[in-house]
A and B are shown apart, each in its own frame.
Chain A
């Protein structure tokens, strides 16, 4: 008894959903092939024993085409286990059967588990499990992992998993074609298909329409951005006020305990101030953006985006799946980098990795929203203002996507020469998003994550900045020395020393760029007093900010060195110093170049 159970199967059949149900963990699931790129481990009590469940990335065959499939193949073929549960798609049984047959040729103790039975019922598909089990010679079960039906019977079989699958029935390592034909024969004997309705196809013809696809995509994205910005205003204000009063309370408490002046200031103004800013300004928009985005993901819209964008990526000599990794980068650049494992060709994978930080991530959105709101939208609020803000943010996003395509083309023409490889993308059926689960998972996970990051990064950063601002050498604070040093260089790009330093210090996490910047501008860092972004406008104007400064800062926020997590992830994925350095240099040079261009042209025409 190894007490291990492996879950194998095609992409997007519900392995991770089943895994979550069995282990109670919260693996990220999404309605597109390639969501799981690494193996996951969880535990389950089964008949008194603790079993380890291993969730593998989806694969169409044991002959791998990409790193995530290779990982799955290695696990399926070599990992010691009590049994392998091959999860199949009831609506697409033939293809799942192909993998099952391949696995059965190489391993014993296979259990076939047909998932998505609820969807099959809706489509009028009936499966004769007795006939299936007879033909295959292994136990077969029909389940719905999302609803939980049939799972207990499956587990019973898995618990007593010393099965002999009669492997002398099949030749070892048959030709793919032979297996395909055998799979077809098995399915013909056990599956009854009915007339398919295909409402989904009708929707697809609209969403991928030659003309309407792009406007629909832009409008949807605009909608999500607008909801995130406008919906976040009130919660942000509430949180700010709450934290401000808490801060005063804490300050009085520390004074009561006779803590020294400088300690009080460092804790309240430095650490607390920065952390609280991150939470109250950064958190609400993200708490709205993420559930909405995950809703689209669960629906199955992302592969359609990749379908529509593929032509553009072909022109850039890259892989259409890069559209999917780009979407992942919107959430977190580092996740976008690991997601690149779904790309088959190493050349195209590298292009996707190197360009992943050209789209704004979760951590950069707050900086962008803050600057856009401050300089281009005005402080009154109201419908028009939030629409304008969302439109500008969309423009920034589109710029990021454009830069991704342009840089991919550039890389294909220079250091990563080659032709685009073959590309096959599965468009899964539309599925009803599990709204309740999404809300809980996104809001809770996101909230906890941002809070965690705030504590881990913003707090020390706040303390560090406070120290820099209050430790003096030769009459000037350390902070003034540093920013003064960076200032002349920064001015070329229409930024100043403080902004540049804020970006440098924001290397661990992009969320802290604005708080660090503000604290540096203020001599004693009383961020806690600010109730809304509107209070910042006079402060920035005082420091010499113009609309040009804002534009360049926005551009640089979009295109600068990737955060530390992303850099480490690129290193782990590429195992090469050369590519990691390029991943840092590419966005930075693009950012500096663009700022220089914009600044110079504006000055040339005397516009600022």
Chain B
């Protein structure tokens, strides 16, 4: 089993399972609303120039997150 990495480090095309979100309450609530919660599966899709923001597949929708926010989510690549 691979150890957890930051979501921002997930290579495009790779799937992962979400482990935890850093406890920044506003961000955490927002991300949970959108589907990023421990146990959910996500996949990195594509990035803009400079790698920021990156689009992620989550709960069958595509959500783009900035690197600074994706840094706060820990995932386990599958």
Contact = CB atoms under 8 A, between A and B. Distances in A.
Select the residue from B26, B31, B38, B52 with max chain A CB neighbours within 10 A: B26
B23 interface: no
A210 interface: yes
B39 A427 contact: no
B48 A307 contact: yes
A307 B59 contact: no
A181 B39 contact: yes
A6 B45 CA distance: 36
A311 interface: yes
Nearest to B64: A425
Interface string B11-41: 0000000000000101101111111011110
Interface stretch (A92-100, A107-115, A274-282): A92-100
B61 A310 contact: no
Contacts of A213: 48-49
Contacts of B38: 177
Contacts of A94: 35, 59-60
A60 B45 CA distance: 22
A426 B63 contact: yes
Contacts of A60: 30, 33-34
Given A208-B48, A307-B64, A314-B66, A427 B55 contact: yes
Interface in A64-108: 65, 91-95, 98
Given A311-B49, A311-B50, A424 B65 contact: yes
A344 B49 CA distance: 24
B5 interface: no
Contacts of A176: 29, 32-33, 37
A422 interface: yes
Contacts of B49: 210-211, 213-214, 308, 311
B26 A422 contact: yes
A329 interface: no
B51 to A, nearest CB: 9
A310 B64 contact: yes
Interface range for A:
35 or more
Nearest to A90: B60
B48 to A, nearest CB: 6
Interface string A418-439: 0010111111110000000000
Nearest to B72: A422
Contact of A65 (B30, B39, B47, B50): B30
Given A424-B30, A427-B55, A205 B46 contact: yes
A259 interface: no
Contacts of B55: 204, 208, 307, 427
Contacts of A201: 45-46, 62
A91 to B, nearest CB: 6
Given A204-B55, A310-B48, A91 B60 contact: yes
Contact of A424 (B34, B39, B50): B34
A97 to B, nearest CB: 10
Contact of B31 (A95, A424, A429): A424
B30 A422 contact: yes
Nearest to A69: B33
A244 to B, nearest CB: 51
A578 B39 CA distance: 47
Contacts of A214: 49
A307 B30 contact: no
Nearest to B52: A311
Contact of B33 (A93, A98, A320, A429): A98
A425 B63 contact: yes
Interface string A181-197: 10010000000010000
A427 B63 contact: yes
Contacts of A65: 26, 29-30, 33
B35 A422 contact: no
A184 B38 CA distance: 12
Nearest to A307: B64
B29 A63 contact: yes
A95 B34 contact: yes
Contacts of A177: 32, 37-38
23 contacts: A60-B34, A61-B33, A65-B33, A92-B60, A92-B61, A94-B59, A95-B59, A95-B60, A181-B39, A184-B40, A201-B45, A204-B45, A204-B62, A303-B64, A307-B55, A311-B52, A422-B27, A423-B69, A424-B34, A424-B65, A425-B63, A425-B64, A427-B63
Given A176-B37, A307-B48, 10 more contacts: A95-B35, A95-B60, A176-B32, A177-B38, A201-B62, A204-B45, A204-B46, A311-B50, A426-B34, A426-B62
Interface of B: 24, 26-27, 29-35, 37-40, 45-50, 52-53, 55, 59-66, 68-69
Interface of A: 60-61, 63, 65, 91-95, 98, 176-177, 180-181, 184, 193, 201, 204-205, 208, 210-211, 213-214, 303, 307-308, 310-311, 314, 320, 344, 420, 422-429
Going nearest first, the 3 A-B pairs with the smallest beta carbon separation are A61-B33, A60-B33, A427-B62
